[in-house]
Amino acid sequence: MTTPTPRACVVIPAHNEATVIGRCLRALADDGVPLEVVVAANACTDDTAARARAVPGVNVVETPVASKPAALNLGDAAGTVFPRIYLDADIELRDGAVAALVAALSTKEPRVAAPQVRFDTERSSWGVRHYYEVFTRLPYATQGLVGLGVYGVSAAGRARFDRFPDLQADDTFVQRLFAPHERLRVEGSFVVRAPRNLRSLIRVRTRIAQGNTALARHELPAAPATFAQTTHGTTRALAALVRRRPTLAPSALVYLAVTVAARLRAARPSDRWHRDESTR
């Protein structure tokens, strides 16, 4: 039997993801779309690479450098087909998302696309659930495109940049390369398992705040003004949400507390990678 020609390449950067890489790869296979899958294992001290190699058809490349951008570039170099989909190892694509991404990005036009996010808070604490009660209703989650673990680009879209820069916020970096009409929301969904507790949630939000700050310094000299506008927009959306839904006031307080705590931690000089270990 001949092997079907892959319709897209999926690049998965993975650092010590042995407990989650299997379900990520199974979800890809379940969609039934022929894919070229490249797992870029970076500085793993567990058996992430071995578990990925055990899945038929998966190409595993390795680097001793503990860096997501380095892993993205390594995986990109190993890929041979387009469209190109970038997927975090703890994310599961569902409901035909792979097929929808491939269809939307199989174009000569520069496009970036992502499916709808779903947060799994079933095993999360009350505080985390309150946070996501608000977060899922704010413009970033309802109108945003990338920034939560998966995005894809067409061949022309990928041509807009050379290598991934040494930044944590790779997804936001890519999004900013595309005009609003070039950003697509496709059918299907992807599952993000929410942190189990508030401490883990603050770690995640700290990493995101650090990444956004570094990105602003990298791309935009006037970053503080840019981020102030974003913050003001979120604050207005939060106030409007509470006015419409007064019962969400307690959740809004949790959201604000987490946001402030994360930004204060992000402002401290640190090389620590703030990763959520509670879902791994």
Q: Is residue 66 in some structural domain?
A: yes
Is 169 inside a domain boundary? yes
Task: Tell me whether residue 81 is exposed, middle or buried, using C-beta atoms within 10 angstroms of its C-beta: 0 to 12, 13 to 18, 19 or more.
Answer: middle
Instruction: Report pLDDT for 225.
Output: 39
- Residue 270, domain member (yes or no): no
Two tokens at 184?
Answer: 């697509």
Decide if 229 is inside a domain.
Answer: no
How confident is the prediction along the chain (280 residues), in pLDDT tens digits per residue? 567 899 999 999 999 999 999 999 999 999 899 999 999 999 999 999 999 999 999 999 999 999 999 999 999 999 999 999 999 999 999 999 999 999 999 999 999 999 999 999 999 999 999 999 999 998 877 765 656 799 999 999 999 999 999 988 898 889 889 998 999 999 999 999 999 999 999 999 998 888 777 777 765 433 333 444 455 678 889 999 999 999 999 999 999 999 999 999 988 876 555 667 777 7
Whole-number pLDDT of residue 167: 86
Total number of domains constituting the chain: 1
Q: Is residue 226 a part of any domain in this protein?
A: no
Domain contains 78: yes
Q: Is residue 89 part of a domain?
A: yes
List the CATH number of the domain containing 175: 3.90.550.10
Range of the domain at 130: 9-196
**pTM, whole model, 2 decimals?**
0.88
Q: Is residue 134 part of a domain?
A: yes
